[in-house]
Amino acid sequence: MLTRKFSTTFLILLGCVLCLTSMNIFKENQANKIKLVSLDLNRKAVSLKGNKMEEFPNAERGFLWDSDDSKTKKWRPQGITGLNEGGKEYIFVSWYGRKEESKYDSRGARISVVDLSSLNYRHLLLIDKNKKTYPDMHAGGISVVNGKLHVADSRPGNNLIRVYDYNKIIKLPEAEAIYDYTYILMEEYNYNAPIKPSFISFDKDRGSILIGTFAEKPSDKDPNLMAWYKAPKNQQEASKFNSTTNKISVYRLPDDYKKIQGMVASKATNGKTILWLSTSFGADNRSNFYKMYIDINANTPKKPNILKPTNSHSRKYPPGLEDAYLSVKNELWLLTEFAFSEGNYKQEGLGISEPTRRAVFCIKKSKITPE
């Protein structure tokens, strides 16, 4: 009888211990997940102004990375997006690790979170559910949709959009750091992109994601494709991603536009659809930024429909123009990728012997609306 009572008491105590242990583990895991507004930003960007601002036509405001990030060739910035959260305006920028520099491609991609009010920022490493990085992932485009960060993965055999919750930033103990990163974003789910996702943006007028493909020499074999679709809101919806439910519509741009790096669409006050394109041609050559109107309702004999831009005009920008993002303030944000020591480019007309290389800047929509 005494033994039975002892066994029962022991099991009850054991159950309590296990319960408390589980609660402590849960609390510990919760404590390690940080909301965006509570993130400790440990780096400082520099405001873009004066002669440096003049290098970027029509630029309204912007910033330069700190000295280390401006000079590094181990990482290159690619995608850009942003949001307003907790009364603050943030810009997110994706970077990819370069194979040419100490095999940094094994590190995959990272996201810089920038508070525009203070210009403080921090890098977050992207990892999968197994705490593994994404070797050689370019992360050429990113976009915030439905409170999640969508990242383009155009590696051969992937063609995926990977989704992360930017309000569940994980802080790892120093002993568990991944490539010296203790702040990470872990993938929640992914889905197959309808076309190769070289870049991505959110068309707020249509409430749809817009993605497009990079083509060095566009042709029938390798066309300039673009597609709108409704984003899945969770893993369950992502697993059922299809052309009907997600309202996928695919179009083709003329072959005249080569090496597209970023694409944003928006409605003009005249009701027409504006399309902006960023294109770039290496560290020695200036980039082209295009503005145009497109008619997505026009039908053509070929499928997908080949769009016929009207009022298309371009303007030169410094080398390495990449992704683009239109904010709720109707500011179009752009960025350039090359480090200071890369290329032999010289800024023309401004008398600048050391042109700005790696910058993030925005232009008011009203200044880049097609005529």
Q: Residue 30 has what pLDDT?
A: 46
Q: For 147, phi and psi rounded to 5 degrees?
A: 75, 15
Q: Taking residues 130-155, what's their average pLDDT?
A: 96
Task: Examine the domain organization and report whether 237 and 114 are in the same domain.
Answer: yes
Please give the average per-residue pLDDT across 338-364, as a whole number.
78
Q: What is the pLDDT of residue 371?
A: 87
- Four-CA torsion 78, 213, 167, 135, nearest 10 degrees: -70
Full residue range of the structural domain in which residue 211 is found = 40-367
Judgement on whether residues 159 and 15 belong to the same structural domain of the protein: no
Is the pLDDT at 92 greater than 70? The verdict is: yes
Chain mean pLDDT for the chain: 89
Do 120 and 11 have their domain in common? no
Q: What is the pLDDT of residues 293-326, one digit of tens each?
A: 999 887 666 678 889 999 999 999 999 999 999 9
**Closest to 228 measured CA to CA, from 240, 214, 243:** 243
**Model pLDDT, residue 355:** 73
pLDDT at site 6 = 43
How far apart (Å, rounded) are the C-alpha atoms in residues 331 and 144? 16
Q: How do 109-115 and 120-127 pair as beta strands? A: antiparallel
Same domain, 276 and 178: yes
Please check whether residues 20 and 57 belong to one and the same domain: no
In Å, what is the CA distance from 290 to each residue of 10, 114, 206, 260, 329?
74, 26, 21, 10, 20
Q: Do 225 and 292 fall within a single domain? A: yes
Q: Same structural domain for residues 26 and 65?
A: no
Mean pLDDT of 139-164: 96
Domain count, the chain: 2
**Average pLDDT, stretch 76-103?**
96
Q: Are 350 and 331 in contact (CB under 8 A)?
A: no
Of the pLDDT bands very low, low, confident and very high (cuts 50, 70, 90), residue 211 is: very high
| pLDDT at residue number 19 | 46
For residues 78 and 3, state if they share a domain. Answer: no
Question: Both 14 and 101 in a single domain?
Answer: no
For the cut 90, the answer to whether the pLDDT of residue 190 exceeds it is yes
State residue 326's pLDDT score: 98
Same domain, 69 and 167: yes
pLDDT for the residue 21: 41
- Predicted confidence (pLDDT) per residue in 100-119, tens digit: 888 999 999 999 999 999 99
Q: What is the pLDDT confidence band of residue 351, given thresholds at 50, 70 and 90?
A: low
What mean pLDDT do residues 333-348 have?
84
142 vs 2, residue with greater confidence: 142
pLDDT at 344 over 90: no
What is residue 178's DSSP assignment? B
Query: Given this model, what pLDDT does residue 23 score?
Result: 40
pLDDT at 155 over 50: yes
Domain with residue 130: its CATH number is 2.115.10
Give the mean pLDDT of 198-202. Answer: 98
- Of all residues in the chain, what percent carry a pLDDT higher than 70? 88
Whether pTM exceeds 0.85: yes
Task: Please answer whether residues 48 and 63 qualify as being in contact, where contact means their C-beta atoms are separated by less than 8 angstroms.
Answer: yes
Per-residue confidence band for 14, with pLDDT thresholds at 50, 70 and 90:
very low
Share of the chain above pLDDT 90, in %: 79
Whether 148 and 1 map to the same domain: the answer is: no
pLDDT value of residue 354: 67
Q: Are residues 278 and 248 in the same domain?
A: yes
- What single letter denotes the amino acid at residue 352? I
Give tens-digit pLDDT for 22-73.
344 334 444 479 999 999 999 999 999 988 898 999 999 999 999 999 999 9
Asked if the bond preceding 197 is cis, omega within 30° of 0, the reply is no
With 60 as the cut, is the pLDDT of residue 10 above it? no
Mean pLDDT of all residues in 222-251: 94
Q: Give residue 62's identity as a one-letter amino acid code.
A: G
Say what the pLDDT of residue 20 is: 41
